[in-house]
Amino acid sequence: MVIGIVVGVIVLLGLAGFFGSGAIRSRTFTRLVDATRAAEGDPVWKEFFTSQDCFIDAVVEASDAELAFNEGLALLEESDSLARHVDLSLVSFSEVTVLPFHGALASARDSIVAHYQVWEGHLAESLSILSLLDSDPAELAVQFQAWVEVVVADSEAIESTFNDAEASFQSAALDDPSRQTVDTLFTPSEAACSRGAV
């Protein structure tokens, strides 16, 4: 009789722990998605990519040194804004605490952190070049080339860590609606220079 009661209590505690853990896992996933949505959905990304496209367009398509210099200064400002946003986002991700036995959630959080750390390094490199922009066409051409080399060199790591984060979030997703949320979360938006557009 006593053994039966003890076994019953153990089973009840086990079930409570299992369902309690499931609720915690669900809340943690929601917090991680919310933090990532806030990070990825901020308008600063579109402003940055639009400015980047305008800088490239001014140099490559318009071949206008004065315009390119001004667009480069605008990109410097947008890069600085994005760098601050990335730093704040990294803090936000670090505030999502994950229980030790929720490995998939920990991997998802760590993967989005890794992606933002790549961006952090990339923006630091870009800012060091853009902060020295010179209005002299010859100097500007050299600086533009140096900036392009950084963009190209870092693009693979940016893309691969983005894809890794999406895969990790999919692995951590709880059900089909969660997986659809992840699909939406990791669908890049388009941004292009609209200078001169009517």
Q: Tell whether 174 is covered by a domain.
A: yes
Residue 130 lies in a domain: yes
Which amino acid, one-letter code, is at 108?
Answer: A
Q: What is the pLDDT at residue 189?
A: 84
The answer as to whether 147 is a domain residue is yes
Cα–Cα distances in angstroms (integers) from residue 185 to residues 41, 90, 181, in the given order: 8, 17, 6
Residue 101 lies inside a defined structural domain of this protein: yes
pLDDT single digits (tens) 128-154: 999 999 999 999 999 999 999 999 999
Number of domains in the chain: 1
DSSP class of residue 131? T
What are the DSSP E strand ranges found in 42-190?
A: none
Residue 13 predicted with pLDDT over 50: no
What would the pLDDT profile of 72-105 be if each residue is shown by its tens digit? 999 999 999 999 999 999 999 999 999 988 889 9
As a whole number of angstroms, the distance between CA 123 and CA 106 comes to 26
pLDDT for residue 38 is more than 50: yes
Residue at 40 is within a domain: yes
Could you give the count of Cα atoms lying within 13 Å of 14 in the half-sphere of its Cβ? 6
Residue 194 maps to a domain: no
Range of the domain at 161: 28-185
Residue 10 lies in a domain: no
Q: 58: buried, middle or exposed (CB in 10 Å: 19+, 13-18, 0-12)? A: buried
Model pTM score: 0.86
Buried b (16+ CB within 10 A) or exposed e, 131-150: eebeeeeeebeebbebbeeb
Tell the residue number behind the tokens 């557009």, with chain if given.
197
Task: Report the C-alpha gap between 127 and 136 in whole angstroms.
Answer: 19
HEC assignment per residue over 29-58: HHHHHHHHHHHHCCCHHHHHHHHHHHHHHH
